[in-house]
Structure 1
């Protein structure tokens, strides 16, 4: 479905919403999307889920083929120091909800379906 992490990120920009994060705001739609996004990235590309402690709590992101990918990094006003601590799906799910996870996957699927144009 996605050939690159960049393509997935572009689709996620249309899929993030208040239904995928209770911290969502128009000013900062990425706020609170890190754990649910890390889960979806792992669904699509495999790899590992990593975490780093920030002033706001734990921040989740991914490592795929040895390379760090943080699709929600721009939610932060200041640079963060990455710890790259190994995490698990259970830890990421503890920071979100099944409903938010399903909502993001559904919106992502709808965006992909709607963006495919018949040849």
Structure 2
């Protein structure tokens, strides 16, 4: 059972590795995990994928039952200014790889 989204977020953070993002590091484990995590969260909880620009990059997160969940916001130094633009799975997959997605699902035993 996945529990609540925040509880699942704790599981996610323990599952992140260099296999789930090439930007991962012990010092900043959430770095580069947004797209792959948002995809897996959608697999488990449904809802919509959203995106916002952070610098030159897209940042992906979820909206479930009308509530925003950004389980990788800690990768940024400051607060994120959310645009809440609709995103597709194809958008999110353009920022990750099938191998990273499969690695995260496997680490979570999904």
TM-score of Structure 1 vs Structure 2, range by shorter chain: over 0.9
User: How well do the aligned residues superpose, as a CA RMSD in angstroms?
Assistant: 1.0
Name the CA distance, whole Å, in 1 between partners of 2:75 and 2:18: 15
Question: 1:1-119 alignment to 2 at 5 Å?
Answer: 1-109=1-109
Which structure features the higher share of helix residues? 1
Name the CA distance, whole Å, in 2 between partners of 1:4 and 1:94: 27
How far residue 6 of structure 1 moved from its aligned partner, in angstroms, is 1.4
Name the CA distance, whole Å, in 2 between partners of 1:39 and 1:59: 12
What residue ranges of structure 1 are gaps of 5+ in the alignment? 111-119
What secondary structure is seen at the aligned counterpart in 2 of 1:109?
coil
How far residue 25 of structure 1 moved from its aligned partner, in angstroms, is 1.0
Q: TM-score, normalised by structure 1?
A: 0.90
Q: Which segments of structure 1 move beyond 6 Å, counting only runs of 4 or more?
A: none
How far residue 12 of structure 1 moved from its aligned partner, in angstroms, is 0.8
Larger Rg: 1
For these two proteins, the number of residue pairs brought into alignment is 110
Name the CA distance, whole Å, in 2 between partners of 1:38 and 1:19: 16
